[in-house]
Chain A
């Protein structure tokens, strides 16, 4: 047994790659094979409640700061949040702070329109703005004077001609700011340059790797909860799905004939859990093997 454990420590890493690949592939190919329960985290609940407290006609600024590489983690939360906002008839303004973000924002809006859940009109219910380079400079610009940074929407329409832009001059004219980010600029820049100085509630949905850096902002109330990576997205999707299912026949903002579908992050969680379990087993076995090999030497 002892020799076997020592030998395990010298196993070819390609074998581990194959096992990880299988741990991800099998739950994706057979989603009903392993169904693990999802417990909603406290921070996801805070985000959900903060959005639920907004009123019809309120204005929410969404910052898209992620690209294709982090799409699996962040995109499902963007879809779920947009559904939640449009179900409450909230006006949505999308700015892009990463070069690929306009593509992500367009895809998210298209996916929402394709669900046929809402009757949306661009320029009235939502507005999309092109990518601006500069990171935190753009955030500071939005905080001070939105119209100095953006003169046109992504279709080239002057913002003076858009009804949705009436009374929007700076970040103070928004009721809530939500940041989707995968790096810099991200939630830290929104806290520092816009929402702390102007006292605007801010929440964030970000990649897993950013979560530990954002925790101090959550504890201090500078961020109203957080959607933490894929599990955060899955939890939020579940909450929004349950809410829309309850409201489908009662809410006038929802098309009754539309078919509600569960989000993508929920389906991915089994693969996430199984692969994590496998990683934990590897770490334990690796440590045991290392312990015995050190003892032998």
Chain B
């Protein structure tokens, strides 16, 4: 803590954290201000880091290697991504916005082409292969693999809409629903755990910065916020009454 800039950073952190948490009380000016600052800072940071870490060395580093000095040699083909990138910016000019479709078309086509092969390989073929039962294993592993197989088949039947879910198909799809519900339950449990983990992280920082070393940042800002919110809500109530 040799510089006061550290203290400014700590106080900003505490203000932002408590402002976001203040949403639990209701929508209020602290929350709104923190939300807008977060969006602005994130956009600015991502723009700057993308420009300096990616666009500048990888694109301009290949077009102007002697000037940028990013370790690349001149490659004239990189004029194409430069033009496609500029086309994207033409969205801001209504009469030329159609040019952006060329860039978007390239991105969509390229991404779809790349994804098809890897998805079929890793998510379909490998998964089908591993849904089979290995009868050389122990009784428990066979039982486990059998359960996985039932889950896969019944889950797929549930999403088969070309035939009405009646009779045998209906019964199998009902088993599929139970497997899906277990999956959703597990996902919900993990989601709760993730959110609590984030809360723990925030509280740890708030506890750390409530010490004398940081000029009691947390308690001071917390008290100021409560007072301001109280005044703000009373004024709001008065306004509502007069209206």
Contact = CB atoms under 8 A, between A and B. Distances in A.
Contact of B50 (A28, A99, A140): A99
Nearest to A213: B187
Interface string B182-225: 01001100111110111111111001000000000000000000
A57 interface: no
Interface of B: 24-25, 45-46, 49-50, 53-54, 57-58, 61, 70-72, 114-115, 118-119, 121-123, 126-127, 129-130, 148, 183, 186-187, 190-194, 196-204, 207
Contact of B199 (A24, A29, A158, A212): A24
Contacts of A279: 192, 196
A276 B71 contact: no
Contact of A222 (B71, B122, B192): B122
A42 to B, nearest CB: 12
A41 B95 CA distance: 59
Contact of A72 (B46, B121, B127, B204): B204
A111 interface: no
Contacts, number: 131
Interface of A: 14, 17, 20-21, 24-25, 28-29, 69-73, 99-100, 102, 130-134, 136-137, 140, 151-152, 158-159, 191-193, 196-197, 207-209, 211-212, 216-217, 219-222, 228-231, 264, 268, 271-272, 275-276, 279
Nearest to A152: B71
**Contact residues of B: prevailing secondary structure:** helix
B53 to A, nearest CB: 4
A276 B121 contact: no
A32 to B, nearest CB: 15
B200 A132 contact: no
10 contacts: A20-B199, A24-B196, A24-B203, A71-B201, A72-B201, A152-B57, A159-B71, A216-B130, A275-B199, A276-B192
A189 to B, nearest CB: 9
Given A132-B53, A133-B50, A219 B193 contact: no
Contacts of A159: 71
Contacts of B126: 196, 220, 222
Contacts of A216: 127, 130
Contact of B24 (A14, A212, A228): A14
A130 B33 CA distance: 31
Max chain B Cβ within 10 angstroms of own Cβ: one of A191, A197, A216: A216
B70 A152 contact: yes
A197 B53 CA distance: 28
A14 B187 contact: no
A99 to B, nearest CB: 5
A73 B71 contact: no
B187 A25 contact: no
Contacts of A192: 118-119, 121-123
A208 B193 contact: yes
B71 A158 contact: yes
A153 to B, nearest CB: 11
A64 to B, nearest CB: 14
B133 to A, nearest CB: 13
A243 to B, nearest CB: 24
